[in-house]
Amino acid sequence: MSNTTLYPFQFNHIHMEIPYMDMVINIYPPWTYILTLGSCLLYLLLITTIFPLFKSKFTKSFAINHYALLFLYSLIVFVAAFIYMIQTEQITNWNDYVCVPVPNWLRALSITFAISKIWEWFDTAVLISKGHSLSKIGFLHIYHHATTFLLFLSIMNLPGGEKSGVLFNGFVHTLMYYHFAFRLPKLLRPVITALQIVQLVWSTYIWHITPGLCPQFKDFPRQNFIEFLIPYILVPVYCLFFFKFFFEQYLFSLSKKGKVSSEKDQ
């Protein structure tokens, strides 16, 4: 099985081979910027203007179906990536996990996973339909949804980052969208947030070590400096606000409940 080409995403040239379709998409500036940075602006336009106009369309039935489909899709992505890791023994072979480019079928899955980050914009539409203001929805949700499409395009450039994305983000999103659609026990909610933080830190670490560990990618940071920086720019912000959310929702709220309970006992 042939492996995918190096560096499919660069701001000066997006070279995306579509597996099994004998098709290559080449995109050049300014369209590369319109596709990537423009997607962030398009999301902001949708949540401030378009989604509020059609919020009556995003019914409870729509929300359940939306979350259930994303759960099933995330589960498929995770299981496929996990089976690949086991069959190729990369789950125990560190160097192969980080350095071996993904096969064509996994690249096809990775492309759809990046596109699914646009599908996830409807998470915000559902919240708006419930009457949530953008301030109540919060910076973390908006920033995260605005930038993950760009992030998942960029991590296709290094195999360790790409595999970590579909494997670990696929797993976390399987749990998260199952919870949104069907509800998990309350005890497991902080576990999902903690796993989100862990997978972000882990994937960034894999991204960081790849050029030093893999000779074929050693020139990537120098030749594609901006593209290499993208995870370093985006992921720490995610982590910071996920930590903030975790402490406010699960640790501080527990301490407040404990304080109120003790006051009642007195």
Per-residue pLDDT tens digits for 151-200: 999 999 999 999 999 999 999 999 999 999 999 999 999 999 999 999 99
Residue 266: per-residue pLDDT? 39
CA torsion, ordered 133, 142, 118, 83, to nearest 10 deg:
-120
**In 3D, which of 118, 117, 203, 154 has the Cα closest to residue 16?**
154
| Dihedral-angle region of residue 183 (phi above 0 means left; psi in -120 to 50 means alpha; beta otherwise) | left
**In 3D, which of 221, 57, 214 has the Cα closest to residue 128?**
57
CB-neighbour burial class of residue 187 (10 A; exposed 0-12, middle 13-18, buried 19+): exposed
- Distance, in Å, from the CA atom of 123 to the CA atom of 71, rounded to the nearest integer, reads 13
**In 3D, which of 72, 158, 152 has the Cα closest to residue 117?**
152
Residue 21: per-residue pLDDT? 83
Give residue 1's identity as a one-letter amino acid code.
Answer: M
Give me the residues paired with residue 24 across strands.
17
**Which stretches of the chain score pLDDT less than 50?**
1-2, 258-266
